[in-house]
Amino acid sequence: MSQLLDPNDFIITRKRKKYRFALFHNSPLCFEFDEWDKAWPVDVVEIGAGTGQFIVELVACHPEQNFVAIDVKGDRLQKGARQAEVQGLANVRFLRARADQIDELFAGNLAAIWLTFSDPFPKKRSAGRRMTHPNFLAKYASALKPGGELLIKHDNLNFFNWTLEQLVAGGWRFNELSFDLHDSELNDDYKILTPYETRWLGEGRITKFVRASLIR
Protein backbone atom coordinates (compact mmCIF):
# COMPACT_ATOMS: atom_id res chain seq x y z
CA MET A 1 0.00 0.00 0.00
CA SER A 2 1.10 3.60 -0.64
CA GLN A 3 1.33 6.15 2.18
CA LEU A 4 -1.83 7.10 4.04
CA LEU A 5 -3.90 9.87 2.51
CA ASP A 6 -5.38 12.93 4.13
CA PRO A 7 -9.07 13.52 3.21
CA ASN A 8 -8.27 17.21 2.78
CA ASP A 9 -5.94 16.39 -0.11
CA PHE A 10 -8.89 15.43 -2.32
CA ILE A 11 -10.36 18.09 -4.59
CA ILE A 12 -13.95 17.08 -3.81
CA THR A 13 -16.36 19.61 -2.41
CA ARG A 14 -18.48 17.23 -0.35
CA LYS A 15 -16.63 16.53 2.90
CA ARG A 16 -18.32 13.18 3.45
CA LYS A 17 -17.23 11.94 0.03
CA LYS A 18 -13.64 13.11 0.63
CA TYR A 19 -13.60 11.17 3.86
CA ARG A 20 -14.88 7.99 2.16
CA PHE A 21 -12.30 8.21 -0.62
CA ALA A 22 -9.56 8.55 1.97
CA LEU A 23 -10.90 5.50 3.79
CA PHE A 24 -10.77 3.55 0.53
CA HIS A 25 -7.18 4.50 -0.21
CA ASN A 26 -6.03 3.89 3.36
CA SER A 27 -7.57 0.43 3.64
CA PRO A 28 -5.16 -2.51 3.18
CA LEU A 29 -7.99 -4.35 1.40
CA CYS A 30 -8.66 -1.67 -1.25
CA PHE A 31 -6.87 -1.21 -4.55
CA GLU A 32 -6.99 0.91 -7.68
CA PHE A 33 -6.85 -0.82 -11.06
CA ASP A 34 -3.17 0.00 -11.59
CA GLU A 35 -2.27 -1.14 -8.05
CA TRP A 36 -3.73 -4.62 -8.40
CA ASP A 37 -1.41 -7.55 -7.71
CA LYS A 38 -2.27 -10.15 -10.34
CA ALA A 39 -0.26 -12.74 -8.41
CA TRP A 40 -2.94 -12.86 -5.67
CA PRO A 41 -5.05 -15.94 -6.48
CA VAL A 42 -8.73 -15.14 -7.01
CA ASP A 43 -11.64 -17.57 -7.23
CA VAL A 44 -14.75 -15.38 -7.27
CA VAL A 45 -15.45 -11.82 -8.42
CA GLU A 46 -18.55 -9.68 -7.99
CA ILE A 47 -18.91 -6.93 -10.59
CA GLY A 48 -20.84 -3.83 -9.55
CA ALA A 49 -20.46 -4.77 -5.90
CA GLY A 50 -21.56 -1.39 -4.54
CA THR A 51 -21.04 -1.31 -0.78
CA GLY A 52 -19.89 -4.94 -0.79
CA GLN A 53 -22.57 -6.20 1.61
CA PHE A 54 -23.34 -9.26 -0.52
CA ILE A 55 -19.76 -10.35 -1.07
CA VAL A 56 -18.70 -9.85 2.55
CA GLU A 57 -21.38 -12.27 3.69
CA LEU A 58 -20.44 -14.70 0.93
CA VAL A 59 -16.77 -14.45 1.90
CA ALA A 60 -17.56 -15.27 5.52
CA CYS A 61 -19.26 -18.49 4.38
CA HIS A 62 -16.31 -19.60 2.23
CA PRO A 63 -12.91 -19.10 3.88
CA GLU A 64 -11.45 -21.64 1.43
CA GLN A 65 -11.89 -19.22 -1.50
CA ASN A 66 -10.54 -15.78 -2.38
CA PHE A 67 -12.94 -13.04 -3.48
CA VAL A 68 -12.75 -9.64 -5.15
CA ALA A 69 -15.47 -6.97 -5.13
CA ILE A 70 -15.28 -4.65 -8.14
CA ASP A 71 -17.00 -1.29 -8.53
CA VAL A 72 -16.16 2.03 -10.16
CA LYS A 73 -16.89 3.96 -6.95
CA GLY A 74 -14.32 3.68 -4.19
CA ASP A 75 -16.47 5.57 -1.69
CA ARG A 76 -18.95 2.68 -1.90
CA LEU A 77 -16.40 -0.11 -1.73
CA GLN A 78 -14.78 1.24 1.43
CA LYS A 79 -17.92 0.33 3.38
CA GLY A 80 -17.50 -3.34 2.55
CA ALA A 81 -13.77 -3.14 3.21
CA ARG A 82 -14.37 -1.71 6.68
CA GLN A 83 -16.88 -4.46 7.42
CA ALA A 84 -14.44 -7.13 6.22
CA GLU A 85 -11.68 -5.68 8.41
CA VAL A 86 -13.96 -5.67 11.46
CA GLN A 87 -14.84 -9.32 10.81
CA GLY A 88 -11.20 -10.24 10.27
CA LEU A 89 -11.79 -11.53 6.73
CA ALA A 90 -8.46 -12.02 4.97
CA ASN A 91 -9.78 -13.67 1.80
CA VAL A 92 -11.34 -10.63 0.12
CA ARG A 93 -10.13 -7.55 -1.72
CA PHE A 94 -11.95 -4.45 -3.00
CA LEU A 95 -10.92 -3.16 -6.40
CA ARG A 96 -11.92 0.07 -8.10
CA ALA A 97 -12.16 -0.86 -11.76
CA ARG A 98 -14.58 -1.07 -14.67
CA ALA A 99 -16.41 -4.21 -15.72
CA ASP A 100 -14.75 -4.15 -19.14
CA GLN A 101 -11.33 -4.47 -17.49
CA ILE A 102 -12.05 -7.86 -15.95
CA ASP A 103 -10.31 -9.86 -18.67
CA GLU A 104 -7.15 -7.80 -18.14
CA LEU A 105 -7.23 -8.48 -14.41
CA PHE A 106 -8.15 -12.17 -14.27
CA ALA A 107 -7.42 -13.76 -17.65
CA GLY A 108 -8.69 -17.34 -17.53
CA ASN A 109 -8.37 -17.72 -13.75
CA LEU A 110 -11.82 -17.26 -12.20
CA ALA A 111 -14.15 -19.99 -10.98
CA ALA A 112 -17.16 -17.65 -10.83
CA ILE A 113 -18.36 -14.14 -11.62
CA TRP A 114 -21.38 -12.61 -9.87
CA LEU A 115 -23.61 -9.90 -11.35
CA THR A 116 -26.12 -8.69 -8.77
CA PHE A 117 -28.86 -6.26 -9.80
CA SER A 118 -26.83 -4.40 -12.41
CA ASP A 119 -28.41 -1.38 -14.08
CA PRO A 120 -30.95 -2.70 -16.65
CA PHE A 121 -30.56 0.37 -18.93
CA PRO A 122 -34.12 -0.11 -20.26
CA LYS A 123 -33.78 2.19 -23.29
CA LYS A 124 -32.87 0.29 -26.46
CA ARG A 125 -30.16 2.76 -27.41
CA SER A 126 -28.39 1.99 -24.11
CA ALA A 127 -28.35 -1.79 -24.57
CA GLY A 128 -24.58 -1.76 -25.07
CA ARG A 129 -24.14 -0.59 -21.47
CA ARG A 130 -25.97 -3.56 -19.99
CA MET A 131 -23.64 -5.85 -18.05
CA THR A 132 -24.96 -8.86 -19.98
CA HIS A 133 -24.46 -7.39 -23.45
CA PRO A 134 -22.47 -9.75 -25.72
CA ASN A 135 -19.41 -7.49 -25.47
CA PHE A 136 -19.32 -7.96 -21.70
CA LEU A 137 -20.15 -11.67 -21.91
CA ALA A 138 -17.09 -12.15 -24.12
CA LYS A 139 -14.90 -10.52 -21.48
CA TYR A 140 -16.37 -12.69 -18.73
CA ALA A 141 -15.67 -15.76 -20.85
CA SER A 142 -12.02 -14.67 -21.14
CA ALA A 143 -11.73 -14.14 -17.39
CA LEU A 144 -13.27 -17.49 -16.41
CA LYS A 145 -11.29 -20.69 -16.36
CA PRO A 146 -12.72 -23.76 -18.18
CA GLY A 147 -15.89 -24.75 -16.36
CA GLY A 148 -16.15 -21.34 -14.69
CA GLU A 149 -19.61 -19.93 -14.10
CA LEU A 150 -21.53 -16.68 -14.42
CA LEU A 151 -24.15 -16.12 -11.70
CA ILE A 152 -26.78 -13.42 -12.16
CA LYS A 153 -29.51 -12.07 -9.88
CA HIS A 154 -32.05 -9.46 -10.97
CA ASP A 155 -35.56 -8.23 -10.25
CA ASN A 156 -36.36 -6.79 -13.68
CA LEU A 157 -38.11 -9.47 -15.75
CA ASN A 158 -37.55 -7.77 -19.11
CA PHE A 159 -33.85 -7.39 -18.44
CA PHE A 160 -33.59 -10.95 -17.14
CA ASN A 161 -35.32 -12.42 -20.20
CA TRP A 162 -33.09 -10.33 -22.47
CA THR A 163 -30.08 -11.63 -20.55
CA LEU A 164 -31.17 -15.23 -21.03
CA GLU A 165 -31.46 -14.58 -24.76
CA GLN A 166 -27.92 -13.17 -24.88
CA LEU A 167 -26.55 -16.14 -22.96
CA VAL A 168 -28.18 -18.63 -25.31
CA ALA A 169 -26.98 -16.74 -28.37
CA GLY A 170 -23.45 -16.61 -26.90
CA GLY A 171 -23.23 -20.35 -26.32
CA TRP A 172 -23.78 -20.41 -22.56
CA ARG A 173 -25.51 -23.33 -20.84
CA PHE A 174 -27.98 -22.84 -17.97
CA ASN A 175 -26.93 -24.94 -14.99
CA GLU A 176 -29.57 -23.53 -12.66
CA LEU A 177 -32.46 -21.20 -13.37
CA SER A 178 -35.22 -19.74 -11.20
CA PHE A 179 -37.81 -17.05 -11.79
CA ASP A 180 -38.43 -16.84 -8.02
CA LEU A 181 -35.14 -17.47 -6.24
CA HIS A 182 -36.38 -17.04 -2.68
CA ASP A 183 -39.21 -19.49 -3.24
CA SER A 184 -36.85 -22.11 -4.64
CA GLU A 185 -34.72 -24.84 -3.10
CA LEU A 186 -31.51 -23.51 -4.63
CA ASN A 187 -28.31 -22.97 -2.66
CA ASP A 188 -28.61 -20.56 0.27
CA ASP A 189 -25.50 -18.71 -0.98
CA TYR A 190 -27.57 -17.39 -3.86
CA LYS A 191 -30.13 -16.01 -1.41
CA ILE A 192 -27.74 -13.74 0.46
CA LEU A 193 -29.33 -10.31 0.14
CA THR A 194 -27.84 -7.22 -1.43
CA PRO A 195 -29.06 -3.81 -0.20
CA TYR A 196 -31.03 -3.35 -3.42
CA GLU A 197 -32.53 -6.82 -3.11
CA THR A 198 -33.71 -6.14 0.43
CA ARG A 199 -35.43 -3.02 -0.85
CA TRP A 200 -36.97 -4.72 -3.89
CA LEU A 201 -38.28 -7.66 -1.89
CA GLY A 202 -39.89 -5.19 0.51
CA GLU A 203 -41.71 -3.71 -2.48
CA GLY A 204 -42.96 -7.13 -3.54
CA ARG A 205 -40.56 -7.66 -6.42
CA ILE A 206 -39.28 -11.15 -7.23
CA THR A 207 -35.62 -12.11 -7.63
CA LYS A 208 -34.70 -14.08 -10.74
CA PHE A 209 -31.51 -16.12 -10.88
CA VAL A 210 -29.39 -17.98 -13.40
CA ARG A 211 -26.11 -19.87 -13.08
CA ALA A 212 -24.53 -20.41 -16.48
CA SER A 213 -21.31 -21.75 -17.96
CA LEU A 214 -19.88 -21.41 -21.43
CA ILE A 215 -20.12 -24.40 -23.75
CA ARG A 216 -16.54 -24.79 -24.98
Q: Are strands 144-154 and 208-214 parallel, antiparallel or unpaired?
A: antiparallel
Among 9, 119, 183, 189, the active-site one is 119
d(CA 211, CA 186): 11
Please check whether residue 85 is in contact with residue 29, taking contact to mean a CB–CB distance below 8 angstroms.
yes
Annotated catalytic residue 119: yes
d(CA 179, CA 200): 15
Closest CA to 73 of 12, 26, 24: 24
CA separation, residue 43 to residues 132, 147, 172, 177, 200 (Å): 20, 12, 20, 22, 29
Active site residues: 119
